[in-house]
Chains A and B, each alone.
Chain A
Amino acid sequence: MSFVNTPAFDSYRLRLAAGKESCVERTEHYLTVIHQRSALNAFLSVFENEALEEAHRVDQKIKRGTAGPLAGMVVAVKDVLCMKGKRTTCASKMLEKYEAIYDATVIERLRAADAVIIGKTNMDEFAMGSSNENSAFGPVKHPLDETRVPGGSSGGSCVAVAAGMSTTALGSDTGGSIRQPAGLCGMFGLKPTYGRVSRYGLVAFASSFDQIGPFANSARDVAHVLQVIAGYDERDSTSANVPVPGYLGAMNRNVRGLKIGIPKEYFTDALNSEIRSAIEKQIHRLKSSGAEVVEVSLPHSEYTIATYYILATAEASSNLARYDGARYGYRAQGARDLSEMYTKSRSEGFGTEVKRRIMLGTYVLSAGYYDAYYRKAQKVRRLIQNDFLDAFKKADCLITPISPTTAFRLGEKLEDPLQMYLNDIYTVSANLAGIPGISVPAGKDHQGLPVGMQILGKHFDEETLLRVADFLEAA
């Protein structure tokens, strides 16, 4: 569901090769849209000149026949990924002026594949949020209705693709931050298996949950990007030394015999009926094409939000300790001693939601509370993982909703953090279990707002997710 003309990468690449279009033209087009739709506030930096220079180089390479697999693709990256010499703000006042001194692994890989990076996108501060309202630089707006949120935390990346400002985009997903905005904006968004994509150069929110993944207009474009960014990286000890399959080859438009699991805990009466019926329609399509639909159970689902918010905030409280004003980033003026310098810098540099999560995380790790919160949550995480392992004995993949509602209004949930956290109820389980999940458009509600659907897969089985997503898209 593209709002603006972004051709599928496969056909566009043929036009490029045939000299019917150029990467420079495509980049110019995106730059124009970025300016036209600046009210969406999707970008924090735009690399106008560099992107055009890079596009020119790519065109030369295409002519010489030496271009890489992503030649012609114009990519926006979430401002949580480090690019040498570029501001990497994480949408925080704390890092407003911070320039990264090295490139993230995914940036290196995109460049090596001849992708053009057009800019860095807005997000919830330090990737904490589900509406993109927690940015120190203002919220990102929904491209179909600017009074609504696009979802978060990778709202800027999602909107960049949805509003036709780039071919694809990279986001990061700690509890749903790729899938949820993709769902609210009718995009394809993939959170790969934990360890599939190197996290080196991704500013950490919660290290054991974070994954980088692509947004695109199609499952095939998701696959193109994943193909390039996936794979072992010796700089990330948690990246998996598991071979990367050819993702595009798996997309055979055939779901016959595929076992699709429907977790009963995700389809209760609490689910919005429009969303339910949209998803059921998609399930029916799969069934009528020969897929087998089975009910599965994830018995510990009711604990996912609590478990997630204990563990993710615990890790965040430690990961964000380095922003103390001592070496880089925001430093408050007028502190009389070290302790005051820390307190003032962090109080002034971080936004409300970030501070809330640091305090939560500090609390659950503190002496006397560790066992009751952190340790217990670790145990429950194991139970949730086991739920999925059991479910995948019966099914090849699972289908669930992505969020309880379609895109909500700006400010609607801002005053109620718990309500905001509950937005993640269908997405955090994949991060707890480390499994991959993809967001697939599943129609619209009565207001014309996109309804998303989530497909969850086995560890390192992105192939099945892409295959099903591609099937649903094609039909």
Chain B
Amino acid sequence: MAARNVAMREAIRRALREEMHRDENVFVMGEEVAYWQGTHRVTRGFLEEFGERRVRDTPISEMAIGGVAVGAAMAGLRPVAEFMTINFAFLALDAIANHAAKVRYFFDGMFKAPLVYRAASGWGNQATASHSHAPEPIFAHFPGIFVGCPSNSLDAYGMLKASIRDDNPVLFTESIALYPKPSPMPDDLDDDYLIPIGKGDIKREGGDVTLVAYARGVDWALGAARQLARDGVEAEVVDLRWLRPLDMELVYKSFKKTNRCVIVEESLPMYSFGGEIAANLQERMFDYMDAPIKRVAAEDVPLPYSKDIELLALPNAQKVVDAVKEIL
């Protein structure tokens, strides 16, 4: 099938634009999404195409962005609310965790909140401590909301479409480092190409060790796998894609084959994605375990400004290779 390389931001823009054409109830709101054309250029051209009614600039009011989306969704619209970066979504944590995730539950199913929060996420580029987080696991902590974190363009396209069409609230993170990164998308891609919510994907097959990752972590895992292959070690890369629901079945299947696992994530190490996966593995796969589960995450510090020590704090492919070698 013919394919061409597309940057992830283009894939996200295409998905969003198509969904707005498909469903009149879908609208976007957020800081600088309209006249500024989107801080990350995802909504470039939207104002001209859809107008102010459906492309709504907000003031710098994250609490309101988070909560207005909930009310509008309960009332029957399908908001796609953008947090310029996920760092600012901390200000909206109550709206997300206490309202979006719970309005269905505490009224026992009377309402639904079919909304998507989009948030650019990730470390790096000397953005400094308060603008350098990949805190997806914090949001995945709460039942009632789904969390999607794509690692390439095609996944981002199919995952965002599923998120918009689903009747549950979804927090959808977009790794800033991956926005410009091209990856193949088929030329004849169907408008209804959807990736099921909670379905992981094997990004590389291998029988010696399982690397479990999501979003930017998948890049590091694939880079490590290429390096390991030169030494004759075949790593299987499991991209979970969604932090909630979590496709543990896929991890178990791989682990039964490899009996070894390294978990890779951009986020911080304590109370983390790595901890969650490792806990599930030891509970269910104890008999298949040939070595300790290893975790590669960011260092347990705020991110500094200066370039060299910033890089020291981040995970990379080499750190993954080193972790694998410790358990082979």
A and B: interacting chains: no
User: Measuring CB to CB, which residues of chain B are less than 8 angstroms from any residue of chain A?
Assistant: none
User: Measuring CB to CB, which residues of chain A are less than 8 angstroms from any residue of chain B?
Assistant: none
